[in-house]
Homo-oligomer: A and B are copies of this chain.
Amino acid sequence: MASKSSKSSPRPKTRDRILQTALALFNEEGEAEVSTVEIAAVLDISPGNLYYHFKGKDAIIEGLFDDFEEEIRQVLTAPIAKPLAVEDNWIYLYIIFEEIHDFRFFYNALPTLLDRCPSLQPRFRRLMALKQDVAKAILISLQKAGVLAISQTGVDLLAERIALQITYWIQYCSLKDPNRKEAALIHEGVFSILSQLTPWLGEDGIAYATLLEEFYESRNA
C-alpha cells in the first residue's frame, strides 16, 4: 500500500522518473512555481502521460511524502539503542538534516502545503511528534546517565526547541544566505544544536565545548 520506489522492477519506470524530476524542480523553484506541464516537459514526456501515472500534482506530492516518511521513520526508529556520549548522537542529526534538505520544498511552505493536501496533515504531525519524542528520549537517557544536569521540565522544553530548530534550520540559513553550500549549512546546524547542551554538562562542559569546536573546525577548512 505504500509506494514502491525501490528496486522491485527492472525498468527505469516512468512513475519514478516523474517523482524524481518533480522533487528536483520543487526544491529548486518551489512547489507552487512548478506546473505538471513543466515536469512533463523536463522529462520529455507528454502531460497526458504524466496524468496516466498520477491523478495530479497533489498525487505527486503525496508520492514524494511517502518516500520522505519512510526514510525519516527509518532514521528515527533505529537509534533508540546506544546513546553513549553526547557527541555520539551527531550522526543522527546529520542524517535527519540531509533528509530534510532532500525534501526541502516541503518544509519551505509547510502550512500551505498541508492545507492543500489534508491527508498529509496527520502524517506530518506524527513525524514531528516522533522527532520530538526521540529527542526527548535521548536527552532523558543522558540525564539518567548523569551526563546532563537538567530538570524534567527542562528536558521537555529543550526537546521542543531542538525539534523546532531541526525543522527550520535549513530554511532559516537559506534565507540568510541562499548560496550557502549544503554541507556547510548542515554541519553548522549540527554544531549549533549540540552546542546548546554545553551549559548542562557541568564540569565536563568545558571539555565538551572544546571537543565540539574541534569537530566543527575540522570540516570548516
Contact = CB atoms under 8 A, between A and B. Distances in A.
Nearest to A167: B172
Contact of A109 (B109, B157, B198): B109
Contacts of A151: 209
Chain copies in the assembly? 2
Nearest to A111: B108
B112 A195 contact: no
A168 interface: yes
Nearest to A172: B164
Contacts of A174: 111
A111 B111 contact: no
A192 interface: yes
A215 interface: no
A123 to B, nearest CB: 12
Given A168-B164, A192-B157, A108 B114 contact: no
A196 interface: yes
A161 interface: yes
Interface string A193-214: 0011011100000000100010
A143 interface: no
6 contacts: A30-B112, A33-B115, A128-B176, A154-B198, A161-B196, A164-B165
Given A111-B174, A161-B165, A167-B172, 16 more contacts: A30-B115, A32-B32, A33-B112, A108-B110, A108-B112, A109-B109, A109-B112, A110-B171, A111-B171, A125-B176, A150-B199, A151-B209, A160-B192, A161-B161, A167-B168, A168-B172
9 nearest A-B residue pairs (beta carbon):
A199-B199, A108-B111, A109-B109, A168-B168, A30-B112, A164-B172, A109-B112, A157-B195, A199-B200
